[in-house]
Amino acid sequence: MSDANTRPIYDQEDQLADPVPDAVEQEETEAVATAAPLPEDPERRSWSRDLRFMLVVLAAIAALFLAFALLIAFSPTGAAISALAVIAAPIATMVAAYYGISLALRQVSDARNAAVTAEARARAAEASAHESDAWAAQMESGLRVAVSKLKGAGIGTSDVERAAGTPDEFF
């Protein structure tokens, strides 16, 4: 039996010097790099989006203020008030539409980021499950070899089988 399928054993000195083998470290680095492409600065991007919305709202308020100033300057008649309503309604509608669209885009972006994160976690869990399965197979193989050697030497294996928690007809 070869030692090719066994886990490497590190001394305490080896663990202090190099806690992760180079191949595993490289795989983890590649997995992190490909898992979720992060924007350069999500907080900055969020501020940019919020500032843009504030500028639209401030521009709408300035336009309405200008319309009220013109109304007061040129006599507040019924026609002038109707004209102000004609000016104010589209401005308010555009601000509300812009807010709705930016909110929808933010929700889509957040959902996309959550999906990427969930996919990366699923891949990591799947890799961990594969490693656990391989380790369990190695342990089972080692247990079978130990039981066969004990039987070959004429030593009872009932204690080993009970300690392993295997079913009666496992060996």
pLDDT of 44? 64
Percent of the chain with pLDDT over 90: 16
Which of 18-27, 31-40, 118-127, 151-160 is most confident? 118-127
Q: Is the pLDDT of residue 21 over 60?
A: no
Which of 17-21, 36-40, 123-127 is most confident? 123-127
What distance in Å separates the CA atoms of residue 147 and residue 166, rounded to the nearest whole number? 12
pLDDT of 130? 92
What distance in Å separates the CA atoms of residue 144 and residue 136, rounded to the nearest whole number? 12
Bigger pLDDT: 23 vs 168: 168
Q: How many helices (H) and strands (E) does the chain have?
A: 5, 0
Name all contacts of 26-35 with Cβ < 8 Å and 24+ positions apart: 31/120, 31/123, 31/124, 31/127, 35/116, 35/119, 35/120, 35/123
Q: Is the pLDDT of residue 139 over 80?
A: yes
What is the residue extent of each domain of the chain?
43-164
pLDDT digits (tens, 9 = 90+) for 42-87: 666 666 777 887 888 888 888 888 888 887 788 778 877 887 888 8
pLDDT of 18? 46
Least confident of 23-37, 47-61, 130-144: 23-37
pLDDT digits (tens, 9 = 90+) for 99-111: 888 889 889 999 9
